[in-house]
Structure 1
Amino acid sequence: MIKTIIFDFGDVFINLDKENASKNIFNILRIEKLSKEMIAVNDLYEQGLISTDEFITFYLENFPNLSKQSLIEAWNSILLDLPEYRLQFLKNLKTTTDYKLILLSNTNELHINWIKENISIYEIFKNCFDAFYLSHEINLRKPNTNIFEFVLNENNLNAAECLFIDDTSEHIISASALGIHTWNLDPKHEDVINLLEVKYDLF
């Protein structure tokens, strides 16, 4: 029986535009794909292992025609909105059930700062969770299994009593390997608000 629900953030609660953001980044950098070094820097930034200043400096030094503002705008263009109806679903889940609610998100300081400034319901949303883990704050990221082990250990959880919801299959595979129940949500055809119907067999 499920006692804890662990949610991803992007494309589960907050809508993302990954395709447009990639185009924006490629356009301002005048490249067709990210280099291995850029991917490594992005991963370090997402884990909070380099600062925002270091992240920005890396790109400005490697792309001399790039401005700080254009980089930040392109980087944040992935973020859209957090629908009120999803917040209402979360609030209902918190008040009408006994499930422990945890958020586990790969994110970074620039993104979360944008969300704090532009998503008016963010603090209300955050307060619905019993634990709230952002990769850049805990220095761990999905799909590495150690981030799931961290959540289980920090909250004294039994993996078999947990359900993890994420839109990325790699993350789902890692969680499943630890015995966590999963829902690989497809944001184009599914919505987290239908959780109890989709996963009715677990509740």
Structure 2
Amino acid sequence: METVLAQKIKNIIFDYGNVIFEIDFVRTQNALLQLGIANVQQFFAHKSHNEIFNDFETGSISPAQFRSKIREAANNMDLSDEQIDSAWNSLLVGVPSPAVHETLLKVKEKYRTFLLSNNNEIHYNWIVDYLQREYNVNDNNHLFEKAYYSQQMFLRKPNVEIFEQVIKENNLIPEETLFIDDSPQHLVGAKQAGLNTLLMDKHPKDLEQFLIDHHIL
């Protein structure tokens, strides 16, 4: 991002997966394949996936309903909740180091910062447990002015309405707000809402360097 543009930025909205917290789609594809789901590349991938994941991320279906739909997709009604949750949570790798959280706190000193994550109840609970276990923090709330999760908003990225809700609730001026995400399709919705955007093209462990490269830090 050009220095001139960076100078007008006062607010930053961060995505979570593969910006702050490492996730691995291939691991989950392999796990779903082991459950008996064919065509995993079409069923669950970075840029597109089966509608059940959208429904789960927008709170349209419960964890129990999600598991039932996975059983249907695998054509195996004997799969246990634990087997399904284990396969689904295989996506979640973790925050690469404490330095990532330290970087976010540095950014918070200079900007109003927010988290906007497409998430779901099973993943959210795993992440909270992980953060308590590995980093001795209750959740992500201390890192941002406010954290937003799709399943609590009943909306998901790239729907323009999810960005507009964050903008409205926090009285943000879109031209002064930057959105950072690793998914190109999510940037499209953010641009429609008038936000400046950056595609995260580094590993989460390199978040600080990414922000330096784009004159944010």
| 1:177 corresponds to | 192
Cα distance, 1:58 vs structure 2: 2.5
Which piece of structure 1 moves more, 79-88 or 114-123?
Answer: 114-123
1:69 maps onto 2:76 in alignment: no
Aligned length: 199
| 1:3 corresponds to | 10
Give the letter for the 2:92 counterpart. Answer: L
Distance of 1:180 and 1:195 partners within structure 2: 19
Structure 1 unaligned segments of length 5 or more: list them: none
Structure 2 unaligned segments of length 5 or more: list them: 1-7
Distance of 1:126 and 1:187 partners within structure 2: 24
The superposition leaves residues 114-160 of structure 1 with CA deviations (integer Å, 9 ceiling, x where unpaired) of 11112233536421211110000111100111111111111111110
Q: Residue 189 and residue 69 in structure 1: after superposition, are their counterparts in 2 closer, same or farther (change >3 A)?
A: closer
The superposition leaves residues 21-46 of structure 1 with CA deviations (integer Å, 9 ceiling, x where unpaired) of 1111122124123569x812221111
- Whether the 8 Å contact between 1:17 and 1:78 is mirrored in structure 2 is yes
The superposition leaves residues 77-101 of structure 1 with CA deviations (integer Å, 9 ceiling, x where unpaired) of 0101112110011122223x2x111
Q: Residue 5 and residue 183 in structure 1: after superposition, are their counterparts in 2 closer, same or farther (change >3 A)?
A: same
| 1:111 corresponds to | 123
Cα distance, 1:191 vs structure 2: 2.7
Give the letter for the 1:178 counterpart. Answer: A
Distance of 1:35 and 1:185 partners within structure 2: 24
Taking structure 2 as the reference length, the TM-score comes to 0.83
Give the letter for the 2:29 counterpart. Answer: S
Taking structure 1 as the reference length, the TM-score comes to 0.89
| 2:65 corresponds to | 54
Q: Residue 198 and residue 8 in structure 1: after superposition, are their counterparts in 2 closer, same or farther (change >3 A)?
A: same
1:86 counterpart (71, 94, 100): 100
CA RMSD of aligned residues (A): 2.2
- Whether the 8 Å contact between 1:107 and 1:134 is mirrored in structure 2 is yes
Give the letter for the 2:79 counterpart. Answer: L
1:100 maps onto 2:115 in alignment: no
Distance of 1:137 and 1:189 partners within structure 2: 24
Give the letter for the 1:39 counterpart. Answer: N
Cα distance, 1:9 vs structure 2: 0.4
Percent identity (aligned): 33
1:24 counterpart (23, 31, 35): 31
Q: Secondary structure at the match of 2:23?
A: coil
- Whether the 8 Å contact between 2:180 and 2:199 is mirrored in structure 1 is yes
The superposition leaves residues 47-88 of structure 1 with CA deviations (integer Å, 9 ceiling, x where unpaired) of 111111111122235522422211110000010111211001
